[in-house]
């Protein structure tokens, strides 16, 4: 079974490169299941109804998010109507939406997708992601064949720790949030595919998706200038994961980076 997981879609350039290339990637690599992080899709911050519909028009199975999920307040109103759009699972229990979704793949396997958020250098600070995922897995272990985890976190150490914490218990742990693709993809000894960050799907002539000049004004001159998303050509970043259907663990993980024509 082949799984595609795509890193944070940032603003219009990210949406455009996804639309132009997703179906081609899925065909080329015979993808059975696709997960895309969309929390930065609306101008770099959050998600709107209109943009969510754009994603629903694409061959995407599950959409994940992170700390920007509520930046557009309307997300609070529609997230309960779209169980395939996840917010971090370690939000308080009465928060709208869910961080866990099960969907049957075309090959009949039951795929569980979990979205959780780290604590180090993150706002808001949510419940322990380690305890949260342990509790969930104890409840759902018999209900799914494959578990894919999007760990939305800032600290490299926290992401790596989560990979080892879940090794052998889930199919894959992929990091999102820092928008820079890391070169540490591997299958851990217990069979869990891991990468510290998928990288963003957006304009790389930028500072993690934002207009470079505006960021420099803020960092160099300490001016509180509004950040705007960068424009121009974009790259699509993510990973391909080969899953052993009999065990639900990973055979391999491979980085992909597709540049816009």
Out of 56, 68, 89, 177, pick the active-site residue.
68
Q: Which residues pair with 201 in a beta bridge?
A: 9
* Preceding peptide of 124 cis, ω within 30°: yes
Report the distance separating Cα 250 and Cα 204, nearest Å: 30
User: Residue 187 half-sphere exposure, CB side, CA atoms within 13 Å?
Assistant: 16
Contact (CB, 8 A) for 85 and 69: no
Report the distance separating Cα 254 and Cα 260, nearest Å: 20
Which residue do the tokens 């795509």 mark? 6
221 is annotated as an active-site residue? no
CA nearest neighbour of 4 among 73, 79, 63: 63
Length of the chain: 261
* Ramachandran sector of residue 248 (left: φ over 0; alpha: ψ -120 to 50; beta: rest): left
Q: Measured between alpha carbons, how far is residue 1 from residues 80, 109, 134, 240, 246 in Å?
A: 30, 9, 25, 10, 10
Q: Which residues are catalytic?
A: 68
């Amino acid at each position: 079974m082949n799984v595609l997981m795509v890193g944070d879609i940032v603003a219009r350039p990210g949406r455009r490169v996804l639309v132009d290339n997703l179906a081609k990637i899925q065909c080329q690599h015979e993808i059975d299941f696709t997960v895309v992080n969309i929390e930065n899709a609306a101008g770099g911050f959050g998600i709107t109804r209109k943009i969510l519909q754009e994603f629903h028009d694409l061959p995407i199975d599950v959409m994940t998010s992170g700390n920007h999920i509520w930046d557009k307040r309307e997300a609070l109103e529609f997230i309960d109507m779209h169980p395939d759009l996840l917010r971090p699972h370690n939000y308080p229990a009465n928060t709208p939406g869910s961080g866990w979704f099960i969907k049957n793949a075309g090959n009949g396997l039951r795929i569980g997708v979990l979205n959780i958020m780290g604590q180090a250098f993150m706002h808001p600070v949510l419940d322990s992601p380690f305890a949260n995922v342990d509790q969930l897995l104890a409840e759902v272990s018999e209900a799914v064949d494959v578990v894919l985890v999007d760990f939305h976190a800032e600290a490299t150490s926290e992401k790596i720790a989560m990979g080892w914490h879940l090794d052998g218990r889930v199919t894959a742990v992929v990091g999102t949030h820092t928008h820079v693709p890391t070169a540490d993809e591997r299958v851990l000894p217990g069979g869990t595919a891991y990468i510290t960050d998928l990288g963003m799907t957006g304009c790389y002539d930028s500072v993690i998706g934002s207009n470079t000049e505006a960021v420099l004004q803020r960092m160099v001159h300490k001016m509180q200038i509004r950040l705007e998303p960068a424009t121009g050509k974009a790259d699509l970043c993510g990973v391909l994961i080969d899953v052993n259907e009999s065990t639900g663990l990973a055979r391999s993980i491979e980085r992909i980076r597709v540049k816009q024509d």
